Amino acid sequence: MNAERANRISRIDKIFYLADEIQILKGRIQEHSTGTIITAIGVMEHRIDELKAELRDMEKQMVFNTLSEK
């Protein structure tokens, strides 16, 4: 497996891991005193957005590199 593919897989794995953690934390939210959990969920959701953007950029770069080789 080349390094570029490993980087993509690593990002995808992180997205799935974070999504699982978000679901666990959402189950722990209560009516009171869980503001830090809500904040943590927001941070993780933002990180998922960042990882998705990185994957899109990687895909664009792969397409550009493929087209440049022709």
pLDDT (0 to 100) of residue 11: 97
Across the range 15-38, mean pLDDT stands at 97
User: What domain range is 12 assigned to?
Assistant: 3-69
Report the mean per-residue pLDDT for the chain.
Answer: 94
CA distances from 11 to 4, 14, 21, 54, 65 (A): 11, 5, 15, 8, 20
- C-alpha–C-alpha distance, residues 25 and 21, integer Å: 6
Going by the DSSP 8-state scheme, the letter that residue 29 receives in this structure is -
Position 1 confidence tier, pLDDT thresholds 50, 70, 90: confident
Q: How far apart are the first and last CA of the chain?
A: 23
pLDDT at 34 exceeding the cut of 80: yes
Q: Give me the number of domains the chain comprises.
A: 1
